[in-house]
């Protein structure tokens, strides 16, 4: 009872995406979610979920929480989680798992999933887990202070938000891959400073990501298409830097 009362408060302005292939279960959980969340979308497999997720991102919107089953046709919950984290490494994802799906859990834990709900679904447990995630999102948003240092001007109306790891051009979200986000965050630590190829490679290694100089060149080539001209500068045989924009 307490969980439901609190969830009403914390989830009323949040959006959630439910991914479940069983029609009856999807409908039942969806009806429950609609009692608490401001916006609810329900889809039946990972491909539909990923397509909708990208559409929301392109429309400068996003889901606060993704609640997904593991075993589904076309694209399962593990691959969906992997693809979403490439888009937004900070996305809140909750996984619904059956007792015979333990083989999937290690992969999900390695991807960073912390919240699981077991089948058959217990109503109170579902609300408890949703409350934990919703409260974390709302309290996290309240604690965010507008710090000019978190906003990096890239030229024109293009701005990179370091705290939220997002790139915006004329108010619209620009899709970034996981590696591009990491690159943006690292080089924007000190705009104007030249970061050597070795420093960049070592940075990725420090966070357990395997990237070499060749990968960086390809990443930079793709990232340049998303940024204003001259903001991302290559220093021949040395490295890269972000140019100060006044």
pLDDT on residue 199: 92
pLDDT on residue 178: 86
Are 100 and 161 in a shared domain?
Answer: no
Are 220 and 125 in a shared domain?
Answer: no
| Enclosing domain of residue 43 | 2-143
Q: What angle do CA 127, 128, 129 make, to 5 degrees?
A: 95
Are 33 and 135 in a shared domain?
Answer: yes
pLDDT on residue 207: 80
pLDDT on residue 100: 56
pTM: 0.59
Q: Choose the final residue of a domain: 143, 177, 194.
A: 143
pLDDT on residue 144: 45
Are 131 and 154 in a shared domain?
Answer: no
Q: Choose the final residue of a domain: 143, 178, 200.
A: 143
The secondary structure of 211-235 as a DSSP string is --HHHHHHHHHHHHTTS-TTTEEEE
Calpha distance 163→29 (Å, rounded): 33
Q: Choose the final residue of a domain: 113, 143, 173.
A: 143
Are 136 and 155 in a shared domain?
Answer: no
Task: Kindly list the distances between the CA atom of residue 167 and the CA atoms of 60, 175, 187, 223, in Å, as whole numbers in the listed order.
Answer: 10, 7, 14, 11
Are 48 and 89 in a shared domain?
Answer: yes
Q: What is the CATH number of the domain that holds 131?
A: 3.40.50.2300
pLDDT on residue 116: 86
Q: Which of 187, 192, 198, 245 is nearest to 220 (CA)?
A: 187
* 237 alpha-carbon distance from chain centroid: 33
Query: Which pairing describes strands 15-19 and 65-69: parallel, antiparallel, or unpaired?
Result: parallel
Question: How many residues in total does the chain contain?
Answer: 246
Could you give the number of structural domains in the chain?
2
Are 10 and 127 in a shared domain?
Answer: yes
Are 184 and 136 in a shared domain?
Answer: no
Calpha distance 135→133 (Å, rounded): 6
- Which residue is listed with tokens 């039946």? 44
Are 122 and 200 in a shared domain?
Answer: no
Cβ–Cβ < 8 Å for 26, 18:
yes
Q: What is the mean pLDDT of each run of 10 residues along the chain (246 residues)?
A: 82 94 94 95 96 82 90 90 85 82 66 81 91 86 51 86 83 85 90 92 84 89 92 91 80
Q: What is the CATH number of the domain that holds 155?
A: 1.10.10.10
Torsion of CA 88, 90, 95, 100, to 10 degrees: 90
Are 197 and 123 in a shared domain?
Answer: no
Are 159 and 136 in a shared domain?
Answer: no
- Which residue is listed with tokens 């693809």? 83
Are 152 and 233 in a shared domain?
Answer: yes
DSSP letter, residue 150 = G
pLDDT on residue 57: 77
Calpha distance 113→93 (Å, rounded): 7
């Amino acid at each position: 009872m307490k969980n439901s009362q609190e969830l009403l408060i914390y989830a009323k302005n949040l959006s959630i995406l439910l991914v479940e292939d069983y029609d009856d279960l999807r409908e039942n959980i969806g009806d429950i979610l609609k009692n608490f969340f401001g916006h609810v979308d329900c889809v039946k497999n990972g491909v539909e979920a990923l397509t909708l997720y990208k559409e929301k991102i392109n429309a400068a919107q996003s889901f606060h929480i993704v609640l997904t089953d593991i075993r589904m046709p076309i694209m399962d919950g593990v691959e969906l989680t992997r693809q979403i984290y490439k888009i937004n490494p900070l996305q809140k994802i909750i996984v619904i798992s059956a007792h015979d799906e333990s083989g999937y859990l290690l992969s999900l834990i390695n991807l960073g999933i912390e919240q699981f709900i077991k089948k058959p679904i217990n109503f109170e447990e579902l609300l408890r887990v949703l409350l934990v995630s919703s409260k974390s999102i709302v309290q996290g948003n309240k604690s965010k202070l507008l710090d000019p240092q978190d906003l990096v001007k890239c030229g024109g109306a293009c701005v990179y938000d370091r705290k939220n790891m997002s790139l915006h051009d004329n108010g619209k979200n620009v899709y970034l891959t996981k590696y591009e986000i990491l690159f943006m965050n690292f080089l924007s630590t000190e705009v104007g400073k030249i970061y050597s190829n070795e420093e960049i490679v070592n940075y990725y290694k420090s966070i357990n990501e395997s990237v070499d100089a060749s990968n960086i060149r390809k990443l930079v080539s793709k990232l340049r298409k998303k940024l204003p001209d001259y903001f991302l500068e290559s220093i021949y045989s040395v490295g890269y830097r972000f140019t100060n924009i006044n």
